[in-house]
Amino acid sequence: MAKSDLQNRLTKLQQQGLDPEREKRFRDELEQAEADHNPPAPAQPGPFPGFSRSIYSFQDQAVLQRQERVPNPYTLHFKSLDDLLERDRQREEDGFPRKIKVGKLIKPGKGGKGKVVVVPSTEEEKLIHDPTVRPPGEGGSTGGTGSEEEGDILGEQPVRDTGGEPGAGPGQGEGEGHDLDATAYELGRALTEKFQLPNLREKGKKRSFTRYTYDLTDRNRGSGQVLDKKATLRQIVETNIALGNLPSLEDLDPVRFLIAPKDKVYRVLSPEKDYEPQALVFFVRDYSGSMAGKVTELVVTQHVLIYSWLLFQYGGQVESRFILHDTEAKEVSDFYTYYNSRVAGGTEVASALKLVNEIVAKDHLDADYNIYVFHGTDGDDWDTGGDKALPEIMKILSYASRMGITIAEHSGTQWTEVARYMENSGLLRDKPDLIRMDIMSEDADEARIIEGIKKLIS
């Protein structure tokens, strides 16, 4: 939406009365209305990657024998993440702060799925000097060799965008250097036992989601688990007719039948595909200007967790669609873009919900799929009272199996616009089975996020 349109809307809203705090936020969003949402370019190592390398990072194994660090296959040591989580829970019981970070997110790779991995990690804290505290604009110093004069420029590196700019993608800088395909633990594994998609209905049994079930359905001649008497008898009769051992139907004497080993037909245990209802998940996230900083991180973290759980639990068979919105919504093709797109612009929740409805209507998805919608926002909406959003939500609820709204509140705000109109609409009370809302503050930790998922999908 163009800036001038937004300006008009803002004026209109002002006439209807706006509290100053909201107005300020809207104005901030307006400022950034024309900034783009492109995911940040991958971090450049700069012309001199050795600049900040410590002398202590050199070691004989790497330097002399080219033996680089071997990533630690956590699975080798820990039967499951649960052991670690249990240890962490125990810490809290014993009165010490938790130490394990489960959701250390690793930037999902572009395109490919199944790349969302989460590493349990920890930190050992000590009293040490902080090398990073230095005057702004000063980048430290190191050694160098060459014939340049004092003051000569050796190279330049563009300054990376930081949080203060139009908005940074949440994945930025996190977990760089980790190999995504390495032996990191999949978080989905840990969440599997805890969650199941709610309200799964039988719809258009086209695909199987889960694994095989085993059943005695296949037959095998000669050996097997259970003798199939009827089939065996038929086989024996056939054999004997062929041998001429059964001259006429009147003179039937089973005692004279010749039985070849191959005639015995058995039932054997065999894997059967278990066809189950299929599901489609819409991830919807607000990437308007007000989402800068922690709230976006929270929302995407939660969506990454849900996404990785789906990947694990349903073997990638759950389809996902990704929708981003400010005042206009657009669908993006992969999780990477969804995850990394930068925030800017105003907010209109209805636009995204409308897009969901359009996509569903266009492909008649509701006939074949169980549809789930997860929406993450900071609760801000230019659409006061939800005049546009609520009808769209009603529409979604007519076909969706579950809609989950996550509101990550900025610290200091309470009772956001979205929360208010959702509450007023009475939907949350009337259809608790279909729609859930989870409100957390922007400094929620990972445990809280997982708690939130439980609330949304239990």
Of the two residues 102 and 332, which places its CB atom closer to other proteins in the complex?
102
Among residue numbers 415 through 434, which ones bind other proteins (CB under 8 A)? none
Stretch 19-38 residues interacting with other proteins (CB under 8 A):
none
Task: Tell me the closest approach of the beta carbon of residue 361 to other proteins, in angstroms.
Answer: 45
Nearer to other proteins, 159 or 249 (CB): 159
Neighbours of 201 (CB within 10 A): 9
Block residue for tokens 């359009």: 358
For residue 95, CA distances in Å to 84, 86, 98 come to: 17, 14, 9
Q: Which residue has the tokens 């929708």?
A: 323
Shortest CB 270 distance to other proteins, Å:
38
Closest of 103, 119, 120 to residue 180, by C-alpha: 119
Token output for 106: 């690793």
Among 19, 149, 250, 253, binds other proteins (CB under 8 A): 149
Considering only 148-156, 216-224, 251-259, 271-279, which stretch makes contact with other proteins by CB under 8 A?
A: 148-156
Amino acid at the residue 190: A
Find the binding residues for other proteins in span 292-321 (CB under 8 A): none
Cα(374)–Cα(369) distance, rounded to whole angstroms? 16
Q: What is the widest separation between alpha-carbon atoms in the chain?
A: 116
- For the segment 75-104, give every residue that binds other proteins (CB under 8 A): 76-78, 84, 87, 90, 94-97, 99-101, 104
Residue 101 or 395: the one with the smaller Cβ distance to other proteins is: 101
Task: Tell which one of 19, 20, 79, 152 touches other proteins (CB under 8 A).
Answer: 152
Q: Which residue has the tokens 């008009």?
A: 8
- Name the minimum Å distance from CB 41 to other proteins: 14
Helix, strand or coil, per DSSP, at residue 389: helix
Q: Which residues contact 134 (CB under 8 A, 6 or more apart)?
A: 140
Interface with other proteins (CB under 8 A), residue total 81
Q: CA-CA distance, 410 to 419, in Å (whole number)? A: 13
Give me the least distance between CB of 157 and other proteins, in Å please: 5
Please say which residue, 178 or 455, places its beta carbon nearer to other proteins.
178
- Least Å from the CB of residue 110 to other proteins: 23
Identity of the residue, 17 or 139, whose beta carbon is nearer to other proteins in the bound complex:
139
Dihedral over Cα of 319, 324, 328, 332: its sign: negative
**Does residue number 255 form part of the binding site for other proteins (CB under 8 A)?**
no
Site track 39-78 with other proteins (rule: CB under 8 A), x = hit:
-------xxx-xx-xxxxxxxxxxxxxxx-xx-xxx-xxx
Cα(450)–Cα(456) distance, integer angstroms: 10
Tell me which residues in 118-137 interact with other proteins (CB under 8 A).
119-137
